[in-house]
Amino acid sequence: MADNKKNKRNGRNNGDNDYNPRYRKMRKKVCPLCADKNLVLDYKNADQIRKFVNDKGKILPRRATGACAKHQRDITLAVKRARQIAVLPYTAE
Ligand SMILES: [Zn+2]
């Protein structure tokens, strides 16, 4: 009990004593396009591009795709191009 109070005042903890799901440690995602150098994003390849949109057709955020800033920009561009040539829908339902 006394130790607990001391820890709170300290403002630090060793990570083991309390578990907060909001700040749970997540495995660092590695960018799928950096990981595979041979993988080239093709806006005509619907199956490939579909991995970066949700079921509503929205582009997934970086926290979901795990892509780096550079490749997230490429993904966004590819999805937008795919929409324009009707490979992907702008919206579903
Ligand atoms: Zn990358």
The tens digit of pLDDT for each residue in 50-80 reads: 999 999 999 999 999 999 999 999 999 999 9
Fold of the domain spanning 27-84: 30s Ribosomal Protein S18 (4.10.640)
pLDDT value of residue 52? 95
In this prediction, residue 13 carries a pLDDT of 55
pLDDT the model gives residue 64: 93
How far, in Å, are 7, 11, 31, 54, 64 from residue 24 at the CA level?
Answer: 19, 17, 21, 24, 16
Compute, in angstroms, the gap from residue 75 CA to the centroid of ligand 1: 10
Q: Check residue 1 and give its pLDDT.
A: 47
Q: Where are the domains of the chain?
A: 27-84
The terminus-to-terminus CA distance of the chain in angstroms comes to 55
Residues around ion ligand 1, judged by CB within 5 A, are 31, 33-34, 68, 71
**Number of residues written out for the chain:** 93
